[in-house]
A and B are shown apart, each in its own frame.
Chain A
Amino acid sequence: NAGVTQTPKFQVLKTGQSMTLQCAQDMNHEYMSWYRQDPGMGLRLIHYSVGAGITDQGEVPNGYNVSRSTTEDFPLRLLSAAPSQTSVYFCASTLGPGANTEAFFGQGTRLTVV
Chain B
Amino acid sequence: QSALTQPRSVSGSPGQSVTISCTGTNSDVGAYNYVSWYQHHPGTAPKLMIYDVSKRPSGVPDRFSGSKSGNTASLTISGLQAEDEADYYCCSFAGSYTILIFGGGTKLTVL
A, B in one complex: no
Q: Identify the A interface with B (CB < 8 A).
A: none
Q: Identify the B interface with A (CB < 8 A).
A: none
